Homo-oligomer: A and B are copies of this chain.
């Protein structure tokens, strides 16, 4: 996933800098949903820590390139997901406690084909958010 992400960054004509590689590594490593603050924290640990502004700039750039995607799991600040090669991600969010259940297989292709035809737009990825009270909140 990391290699793919780096390749997409390069293909878009951007330089692969230490900061960008590190942000991508952090997001890919944990394969988690991290906030900007969490990325910043992890990026400050090793040698060659990355500056505050650079983390925000990098997250914005990667979002624009659709390599990562922000999603609101709880009030305040978004959590970032690395979009896999096929551009799919799906999870269920409990709106009450904000727990997240990951969905591994996302069978949505049929629907997408139809939408693409109708709206004449090339869809490169998606995020399906489902909401429902989780077992702990019921």
| Residues of A participating in the B interface, judged by any CB pair closer than 8 Å | 56, 59-60, 63-66, 69-72, 75, 78, 87, 92, 95-96, 101, 103, 107-108, 111-112, 114-115, 119-135
- Cα A119 to Cα B90 in complex, Å, equals 13
Nearest-neighbor residue (CB-CB) of A95 within chain B: B66
- Cα A64 to Cα B59 in complex, Å, equals 27
Number of identical monomers bound together in the oligomeric complex: 2
- Cα A124 to Cα B66 in complex, Å, equals 28
Q: Which chain B residues border A69 with CB–CB below 8 Å?
A: 72, 129, 131
- Cα A135 to Cα B120 in complex, Å, equals 9
- Cα A65 to Cα B4 in complex, Å, equals 38
Is B95 within 8 A of A115, CB to CB?
Answer: no
- Cα A60 to Cα B75 in complex, Å, equals 7
Of the residues B72, B75, B119, B131, contact of A66 by C-beta under 8 Å: B131
Is A123 within 8 A of B132, CB to CB?
Answer: yes
Taking the closest CB of chain B, its distance from the CB of A7, in whole angstroms, is 17
Nearest-neighbor residue (CB-CB) of A79 within chain B: B72
Q: Which chain B residues border A132 with CB–CB below 8 Å?
A: 121-125
Is B78 within 8 A of A72, CB to CB?
Answer: yes
- Cα A133 to Cα B128 in complex, Å, equals 18
A-B contacts, 7 listed (Cβ < 8 Å): A66-B131, A69-B129, A69-B131, A111-B111, A112-B130, A124-B131, A124-B133
